[in-house]
Structure 1
Amino acid sequence: MRESVMKGAEAFYKEGNEIGIVVLHGFTGTTQSMRPLAEAYAKEGYTVVCPKLIGHGTTPEDMEQSTAEEWIQSAENAFAWLENRCNRIFVVGLSLGGTLSLYLAANKNVDGLAVINPAVNVPEMVQMAKSELRFVDSIGSDIKKKDVSELTYHKTPVRSLKHLRNLMAKVHEQLSEVKAPMIVFVSEEDHVVPPDNGQTVFDMAFSEEKELVHLENSYHVATLDNDQDLIIERCLEFFSRHVNAKVE
């Protein structure tokens, strides 16, 4: 039986028009980190789903029992929910959410994706996954902005790090299958995922149209940081451009 969900970590669903957007949060994080984006997209009339990834938003002990396959399933279920309602689907993700967005783009018919500090090769986490401890320190709430914090776990299950390591390796191998239009946001200073991950994604994806946006005033959880408005603005412009291009 799964644990009860933290206040603020609940999934977000909003039905709107026939353009759907999947919004995916990060590793050990919650929907709280992505809610400003999800709400901004919904306000524009889009149909938006921001799922709580299995094992997240409850307790570290609950996350310890979850698997990478279940995180993928959470993302795929959200995608399927939109497929039943929409004729075009975009995906947006932060960190692990970015990794899962890339997975969806490589394996589903995605119309475009926006990834924020996506994780595909994080040597420090791979090293932490080798720990003989059950839990290691929290990796959450890497935010430059004063008085802002991420709703996240206070410790990280090592078993979950092993699942993350394997998922990153799988997605890294599939980057050449990512062909949808893409925008990659990269914080120039990130204490969780090395910024070169974003460059790797940008270089290895086969998208004909791709753009790299450097975030100069945010750390890892950029969706809650100083560049939040910039990310929302650039995403909305990206969606609008590709929706209109298909209409034409």
Structure 2
Amino acid sequence: MEEKYPVLEKAKPFYYEGSDIGVLVVHGFTGTTQSMHGLGKRFADAGYTVCGPRLKGHGTHQEDMEQSTYKEWIQSAEEGYQWLKERCEQIFVAGLSMGGTLTLHLASVHKDIKGIMPINAAIDIPSMKEGEQLKDVRFLDAIGSDIKAQGVVELAYEKTPVKSIFEINQFMKETKEAVSSILCPALIFVSTIDHVVPPENSQYIYEKLASNDKQLVELKNSYHVATLDHDKEFIADKCIEFIKRLC
């Protein structure tokens, strides 16, 4: 799928060269790398090599997203993983929302991933299933910027393509089935109030993961886009502690 629109400046992929420990940071559905750049910079400041890929169809225009598929989103994340693989001995993955879904997918496929840090990961969103029932509707209202902190805005699409809802629903279904095959250590973040992804998603992930080393961490002062919210520094601190413990 060729994208028709230019990539927005704050939506471009980002890379930081560092140690032989790599961290892939993955943004969410209709979102951009802007939501993950702060966390990625904290990883870079800690000395790690960091890759923040832009998912296909994101960060341009919702018409581009409408033409993209979940397999292309997987491919975008996979390319980021391979970029790190060429440079690093150990790789960790952190992802927000559908970025968390992609984090789980990668961990189920690549057993060498050292640890994962899903943040409000999505594997079952009832409201998305309702979106599939709509006929003759092309776009729905935006789902971005679910943020508790005043004045903070997520760079995300103003509309959600209905076609993309079919794609994410299929991807979540497949990933939910794969969760029990994941063995690597996991640090799972969940906002106690989330208006996009029900917190029960993270509880399910925590319970079904085959990992012996897993922890569920509640975020009491952030909504869905926690990486831009009040708990963003807390998330970064906990992630860096997690990586240091395992390395």
Fold conserved (TM > 0.5)?
yes
The reply on whether 1:163 has 2:167 as its aligned counterpart is yes
The reply on whether 1:214 has 2:218 as its aligned counterpart is yes
| SS, match of residue 8 in structure 1 | helix
Q: CA deviation at 1:15?
A: 1.0
5+ long unaligned stretches in structure 1: 244-248
Counterpart CA distance in 2 for 1:71 and 1:172 is: 17
Task: Write the mapping of 1:36-75 to structure 2, written as runs, cut at 5 A.
Answer: 36-75=38-77
Q: Which amino acid aligns with 1:26?
A: G
Counterpart CA distance in 2 for 1:66 and 1:42 is: 30
Q: Could you tell me which residue of structure 2 aligns to residue 177 of structure 1?
A: 181
Specify which of 144, 147, 150 is matched with residue 148 of structure 2.
144
Specify which of 112, 121, 128 is matched with residue 115 of structure 2.
112
Q: Could you tell me which residue of structure 2 aligns to residue 246 of structure 1?
A: none
Counterpart CA distance in 2 for 1:229 and 1:78 is: 24
Query: Normalized against structure 1, the TM-score is what?
Result: 0.97
Q: CA deviation at 1:130?
A: 2.4
The reply on whether 1:101 has 2:96 as its aligned counterpart is no
Specify which of 11, 29, 32 is matched with residue 31 of structure 2.
29
Counterpart CA distance in 2 for 1:127 and 1:178 is: 29
The reply on whether 1:189 has 2:193 as its aligned counterpart is yes
Q: Could you tell me which residue of structure 1 aligns to residue 22 of structure 2?
A: 20
Specify which of 107, 124, 137 is matched with residue 121 of structure 1.
124
Specify which of 80, 84, 87 is matched with residue 86 of structure 2.
84
Specify which of 234, 237, 242 is matched with residue 241 of structure 2.
237
| SS, match of residue 185 in structure 1 | strand
Query: Normalized against structure 2, the TM-score is what?
Result: 0.97
Q: Which amino acid aligns with 1:162?
A: F
Q: CA deviation at 1:129?
A: 2.5
Counterpart CA distance in 2 for 1:200 and 1:164 is: 18
Q: Which amino acid aligns with 1:18?
A: D
| SS, match of residue 34 in structure 1 | helix
Counterpart CA distance in 2 for 1:29 and 1:169 is: 20
Q: Could you tell me which residue of structure 2 aligns to residue 135 of structure 1?
A: 139
The alignment of Structure 1 onto Structure 2 pairs a total of residues equal to 243
Q: CA deviation at 1:126?
A: 1.3
What are the superposed Cα offsets for residues 26-50 of structure 1, whole Å, 9 maximum, x if unpaired?
A: 1000000000000010111100000
Runs of 4+ residues deviating >6 angstroms: none
- Percentage of pairs with the same residue: 50
Counterpart CA distance in 2 for 1:177 and 1:21 is: 21
Q: CA deviation at 1:117?
A: 0.2
Q: CA RMSD in A?
A: 0.6
5+ long unaligned stretches in structure 2: none
